[in-house]
Structure 1
Amino acid sequence: MALHDEEQRQLEEIERRLAEDDPRLAQRLEKLRPLGVSRIGLAILGMLALFVGGLVTIAIGAEISSPVLGIVGVVLAVGLPTVIIWRLWLRRLR
């Protein structure tokens, strides 16, 4: 969730004051920042995992002749990634 402009400005002001008051602490905290993994990157990784998992489920369903497992595999491989893409697209329109 992105910060509003005012919140972002306040956060930058707090960071600036911290760096002025205690530069050593500010440097240590800078090293602790998490890696910037974007939502899009996580969504792509999730969709890839769903697709592969769905294909494996379809293959297992075909091997044991289970139509229910085949349907679950199709939903995993196609349905859920489609829902993720749809939600990301709708979020961009806002």
Structure 2
Amino acid sequence: MALRDEEQRQLAEIERRLAEDDPRLAQRLAKLSPLGLPRAALAVAAMLASFVIGLAVIAVGAELASVVLGIIGIVLAVVVPTALIWRLWLRKLK
């Protein structure tokens, strides 16, 4: 739903005043994800998807007796979620 010109002008004015009054808050709000979801929620969804896909690849690899598919599944199910957790943890330390 598009905003009317007057509403867009009002929002731009509110944004300008916010940036003047509290620049730190304005900077934090500018870093929000475009979908409106917190970064942690997106990371959890990515970890869960990677884990489930990895398990499926492991199952297919076991069915086909393919070592390569098994290794790819393990990487997807274990390494990718661990790397995402590690990255979030390091960001939190900053």
Q: Report TM bin, short chain.
A: 0.5 to 0.7
Runs of 4+ residues over 2 Å off in structure 1: none
Q: What is the percent sequence identity of the aligned residues?
A: 57
Specify the SS of the correspondent of 1:36: coil
Provide the rounded CA distance (Å) in 2 between the counterparts of 1:35 and 1:75. 28
Matched, 1:13 2:17: yes
Deviation readout 1:37-87 (Å, 9 max, x if unpaired)? 000000000000000000000000000000010000000000000000000
Structure 2 residue runs of 5 or longer lacking an equivalent are: 1-13, 20-33
Provide the rounded CA distance (Å) in 1 between the counterparts of 2:79 and 2:72. 10
Alignment of 1:20-39 (within 5 A): 36-39=36-39
Alignment of 1:10-89 (within 5 A): 11-13=15-17, 36-89=36-89
Specify the SS of the correspondent of 2:36: coil
Q: TM-score, normalised by structure 2?
A: 0.65
Deviation readout 1:1-48 (Å, 9 max, x if unpaired)? xxxxxxxxx945178xxxxxxxxxxxxxxxxxx652000000000000
Alpha-carbon RMSD = 2.1
Deviation at 1:88, TM superposition (A): 0.3
Provide the rounded CA distance (Å) in 2 between the counterparts of 1:63 and 1:14. 58
Structure 1 residue runs of 5 or longer lacking an equivalent are: 1-9, 16-33
